[in-house]
Amino acid sequence: MKSVNIIVTGFGRVGRAFWKVVEDKREVCRERYGLDLVPRAVFKSDGGIFGETALSMEPFLTDAPLKPLESPDWKPGLRVQDIIGDIEPGVLVECTPSDLRTGEPGLSHLTAALEKGWHAAAASKGALVLRFKELTGLARKSGVHLKFSAAAAAALPTLDVGIRSLAGADVLGIEGILNGTTNFILTRMGEGLDYGQALREARDKGIAEPDPTLDVDGWDTACKLLLISNAVMRTDFSLGEVQVEGIRDLSHELVVKASRLGKTIKLMGKCSKDERGHPWKLEVGLTLLDGSHPLYGVNGTTKGITFYTDTMGSVTVTGGKSDPLGAGAALLKDIIGIYHDR
């Protein structure tokens, strides 16, 4: 049995779901993978809980906001950087909200962890989108793993398939439906709603966030596409190089017309060879698919990705729970993958 220290930064929906998954899968981790995950610290923006020994997970399993007084070990103002060098390295689980301008606070968390010999599993995208090469280089230099399945479509295994299942093949192109919220909206528009109605329904169901800008304008798709492309094709794209179109301006009539023709309109992220100059091109935009496309039937909040390769043909993955639990499960999957390579 291997004991693995776990520190989680962030205590939003994904951070909490992660603790729930760890608690539910405690025995699975021990029996199936020989891993004993030891909660050592939790950080919010205004402080952290950190003691000398394993934390009790009980306070993390509540839906109520985690208040300072719930733990005698709460230390106002404490940051992960302050303590991560003091404990036996394990895995830092990064779940803070993504800031796509600065990458913070995730960037500082990941940098500190990787420098101190910790593996990291990230659900937040900001730091990786902005500093992919630096962070992966730092992980390599420190001889640790930097995993980010949860940031790259979570329970849909985009990176596992692209990196491991297609190892040795050359990926010639990628197409993906990478955002569940917009795919839900487009699916409902195909069933007769207009954009506003579909967005309202997505909000009512808790699928769309109160401010859905990043989703509906295509930026969430662009971030995931960039991470997948940089990881799988070893490109070095920055977000400004991705051509991004969202779904706000799509007319209801066009969706219905496509539907009548037996086709469907999807918001796709694409990585393809550009004939003119730069060898790869990343774009996010509306695409008309017919029934023969492997992502044609991917509806609702479901996501999917197709890799086109030289020696293995095309390989498509679809599905994967699109909610915080799915992201929590993807984080656990990455932790298991770090220690258990069979």
Catalytic residue positions, numbered: 224
- What tokens were used for 268? 């796709």
- What tokens were used for 307? 């890799």
Q: Residue 100 Cβ, how far from its own copies at the closest point, in Å?
A: 26
Q: Which residues 201-260 are close enough to bind its own copies by CB under 8 A?
A: 234
Q: Residue 101 Cβ, how far from its own copies at the closest point, in Å?
A: 29
Binding residue for its own copies, selected from 65, 72, 277, 311, defined by CB under 8 A: 311
Binding residue for its own copies, selected from 4, 14, 29, 130, defined by CB under 8 A: 29
Give the per-residue contact string, 164-193, with its own copies (x = CB under 8 A; - = no): xxxxxxx-----------------------
Q: Residue 312 Cβ, how far from its own copies at the closest point, in Å?
A: 4
Tokens 């992660």, residue located: 18
Residue 181 in contact with residue 216, Cβ under 8 Å? yes
Contacts 24+ apart (CB under 8 A), 311-318: 311/168, 311/169, 311/170, 312/166, 312/169, 315/161, 315/165, 315/166, 317/156, 317/157, 317/158, 317/161, 318/156
Question: 250 vs 329, which CB is nearer to its own copies?
Answer: 329
Residue 109 in contact with residue 92, Cβ under 8 Å? yes
Binding residue for its own copies, selected from 28, 61, 261, 288, defined by CB under 8 A: 28
Among the listed ranges 8-16, 153-161, 219-227, 268-276, the one in contact with its own copies (CB under 8 A) is 153-161
At 239, give phi and psi (nearest 5°). -60, -35
Binding residue for its own copies, selected from 12, 173, 285, 294, defined by CB under 8 A: 294
Among the listed ranges 39-47, 106-114, 241-249, 311-319, the one in contact with its own copies (CB under 8 A) is 311-319
Nearest alpha carbon to residue 338 among 111, 114, 9, 51: 114
Report the alpha-carbon distance of residue 139 to residue 144 in Å, rounded: 5
The secondary structure of residue 101, as a DSSP letter, is: T
Among the listed ranges 21-29, 88-96, 214-222, 251-259, the one in contact with its own copies (CB under 8 A) is 21-29
The answer to whether 291 contacts its own copies (rule: CB under 8 A) is yes
Nearest alpha carbon to residue 125 among 231, 283, 207: 231
The answer to whether 333 contacts its own copies (rule: CB under 8 A) is yes
Q: Residue 341 Cβ, how far from its own copies at the closest point, in Å?
A: 4
Residue 90: CB atoms within 10 A of its CB come to 23
Question: Please, which residues have CB within 8 angstroms of residue 161's CB and are 6 or more apart in sequence?
Answer: 305, 307, 315, 317
Q: Residue 218 Cβ, how far from its own copies at the closest point, in Å?
A: 24
- List of residues contacting its own copies (CB under 8 A): 21, 24-25, 28-29, 32-33, 145, 155-157, 160-161, 163-170, 234, 291-292, 294, 296-297, 306, 311-322, 325-326, 328-330, 332-333, 336-337, 340-342
